[in-house]
Structure 1
Amino acid sequence: MDTLNSKKVSRRSFLKGAALLASIAVVPAIVASKEASAAAKATKAAMQYQDHPKGKLECSNCIQFIPGKNAKAKGTCKVVEGAISPQGYCIAYAPKG
């Protein structure tokens, strides 16, 4: 028992250790959440994706579209998996406000 009493832990050390343990527990939850959201994307077939516009409706004007490195480069979509053409279209189309 003398060895337990002789090692006093400062409040600062205790709080640092508690914060470290809490952050270690949170990191896997964040990673799992990102993987789940990526896995939740629909297939191109399910969204009836096509590489050409439907009239004036095209991915570059859609709120779900995430542009590529330039205006003509393929980007990604928040809803549809895979590379998406800026001139493409699918049934998840939602015009930018």
Structure 2
Amino acid sequence: MKYDQKKFSRRQVIKIIAFGATLPLMGTLIDKAEAAKAAKELMKYQDKPNGNEKCSNCIQFIPGKTPEADGECKVVEGSISPQGWCTAYSPESK
């Protein structure tokens, strides 16, 4: 049988349609899961360092425009001080 003569069964067509319909939904769910951040209270965020551990040397920290300016965090919501600390702290590898 030649390639152009191959026919799809009804079951195969339904599977293809169902899979195609779920792709946009999966993308939306993944985007929402990535965008979710934890509250400062939940992560026990504080504006002061915990010894040598501080947001400015954490892998999760996104710096502000200057080294002293507040930045953001990949895990914690809101404005984050470079001198802050939370339980999501993970040191940068150097």
Global fold match (TM > 0.5): yes
State the match for 2:78 in structure 1. Answer: 82
Higher-helix-fraction structure: 1
Among candidates 41, 53, 56, match of residue 52 of structure 2: 56
2: CA distance between counterparts of 1:96 and 1:76?
Answer: 16
TM-score (norm. length: structure 2): 0.66
Q: Which runs of 5+ in 1 are unaligned?
A: 1-21
Q: What's the % identity of the aligned pairs?
A: 56
Aligned residues: 72
1:35-50 matched pairs, under 5 angstroms: 35-39=32-36, 41-50=37-46
Q: Which runs of 5+ in 2 are unaligned?
A: 1-19
Change (3 A) 1:29 1:46: same
Q: Which runs of 4+ in 1 moved over 6 A?
A: none
TM-score (norm. length: structure 1): 0.64
Among candidates 27, 31, 34, match of residue 31 of structure 2: 34
AA matched with 1:94: S
Which shifted more, 80-89 or 28-37? 28-37
